Amino acid sequence: MKKWISVVSAIIVLFILFHTTPSMALRTQVLLMGYPKAAITSGIIEDDYHNEVDKEKFTQLNAKAYTLTNPPIEKATQGELRSFHVRKIGFFHFAEYYGEG
């Protein structure tokens, strides 16, 4: 029973750590997409262009757009996975690939 509680507690702590800031949520998403090197080494900046163009949409979603400075290259299309949006729900942050549009 103690082992089960400690495993569940560790999972909960990791989830909280990986979703407490926009940059950690974004790095976690890139890692889960299968790009561990980019998740660790790429810089993250706010995407002023998408934040301004999609201001109404992001306000409704409680989100902001971010860009990776050294994005991974998708294997299938050879496209850069550069733009992401990060939603804030409560005190957690969740990242999704946003694309170029």
pLDDT per position as a tens digit, 5-45 = 999 999 999 999 899 999 999 999 999 999 999 999 999 99
Instruction: Give the model's pLDDT for residue 78.
Output: 83
Instruction: Give the model's pLDDT for residue 101.
Output: 52
Residue with tokens 């902001």: 64
Q: Is 99 left (phi over 0), alpha (psi -120 to 50) or beta?
A: left
Instruction: Give the model's pLDDT for residue 77.
Output: 85
Q: Is 64 helix (H, G, I), strand (E, B) or coil?
A: strand
In degrees, rounded to 5, the angle at the alpha carbon of residue 97 between the alpha carbons of residues 91 and 98 is 100
33-57 core/surface letters (b: 16 or more CB in 10 A; e: else): bebeebbeebebeebeebeeebeee
Instruction: Give the model's pLDDT for residue 84.
Output: 94
Token output for 13: 């702590």
* pLDDT above 70 coverage of the chain, percent: 98
Q: How many domains does the chain have?
A: 1
Length of the chain measured in residues: 101
Question: pTM, whole model, 2 decimals?
Answer: 0.84
Residue 14's identity, in one-letter code, is L
> What domain range is 8 assigned to?
2-97
